[in-house]
Structure 1
Amino acid sequence: MSKKGKVAKAELKIDSKAPKIEIGISKDHRAEIAAGLSRLLADEYTLYLKTHNFHWNVTGPMFNTLHLMFETHYTEAALAVDLVAERIRALGFHAPGSYSQYAALASVKEATNVPEAMEMVRQLVADHETVSRTARSLFPAADEAHDEPTADLLTQRMQLHEKTAWMLRSLLE
Structure 2
Amino acid sequence: MAEKPAQSVAPELRPRYTVEYREIQPYGELPDLPIVLKNNARKQSVEALNQLLADTMTLSDMYKKHQWRMSGATFYQLHLLLDNRNEEQAALVDLIAERIMALGGISITMVPDGAEMTRIPRPPKGREDVPSQLSRLLEAHEIILRQAHEGADAADESSDDSSNDLPVSNVIRGASRKCGSSPSISPPPNLFVRRFESVESNVASDRGRAPSSLAHGFLTI
Query: TM-score, normalized by length of structure 2?
Result: 0.65
Q: CA deviation at 1:143?
A: 1.2
Q: CA deviation at 1:140?
A: 3.1
Cα distance, 1:104 vs structure 2: 2.2
Which of 82, 97, 102 matches 2:109? 97
* CA distance in structure 1 between the partners assigned to 2:132 and 2:40 by the alignment: 42
**SS, match of residue 173 in structure 2:** helix
Q: What are the superposed Cα offsets for residues 71-114 of structure 1, whole Å, 9 maximum, x if unpaired?
A: 01001001000000000000001101122221222111232232
Tell me which residue corresponds to 1:137.
150
Offset of 1:28 from its aligned partner?
Answer: 1.2
- Decide whether the 8 Å contact of 2:27 with 2:106 is kept in 1: no
TM score, norm. by length of structure 1: 0.82
* 2: CA distance, partners of 1:163 / 1:129: 18
Structure 1 stretch displaced more, 40-49 or 115-124: 115-124
Moved over 4 A (4+): 161-164, 167-171
- 1:87 paired to 2:99: yes
Q: For structure 2, which runs of at least 5 residues remain unmatched after alignment? A: 1-25, 179-186, 195-221
Report % sequence identity. 26
Partner of 2:63: 51
Larger Rg: 2
Match of 2:83 in 1: 71
Q: How many residues align?
A: 158
Shift of 1:163: 8.2
Q: In the alignment, what sits opposite 1:160?
A: 174
Task: For 1:53, give the aligned amino acid.
Answer: K
| Deviation for aligned residue 1:21 | 1.3
The 2-side partners of 1:161 and 1:46 are apart by 18
Q: Which amino acid aligns with 2:63?
A: T
Q: For CA contacts below 8 A with separation 6 or more, give which structure has more relative contact order.
A: 1
- The residue aligned with 1:125 is 138
SS state at 1:138 partner: helix
Query: What is the identity, as a one-letter code, of the residue corresponding to 2:76?
Result: N
8 Å CA contact 1:37–1:84 kept in 2: the answer is yes
Residue 82 to residue 169, structure 1, CA distance change in 2 (3 Å) = farther
Counterpart Cα distance in 2 of 1:107 and 1:38: 12
**Distance of 1:152 and 1:108 partners within structure 2:** 23
Give yes or no for contact 1:45–1:81 (8 Å, CA) kept in 2: yes
RMSD: 2.3
Structure that is richer in helix per residue:
1
- Residues 100-109 or 69-78, more deviating: 100-109
Give the deviation of 1:154 after TM superposition.
1.0
- The letter of the residue matching 2:162 is P
1:61 CA drift (Å): 0.9
- What residue identity is the alignment partner of 1:31? K
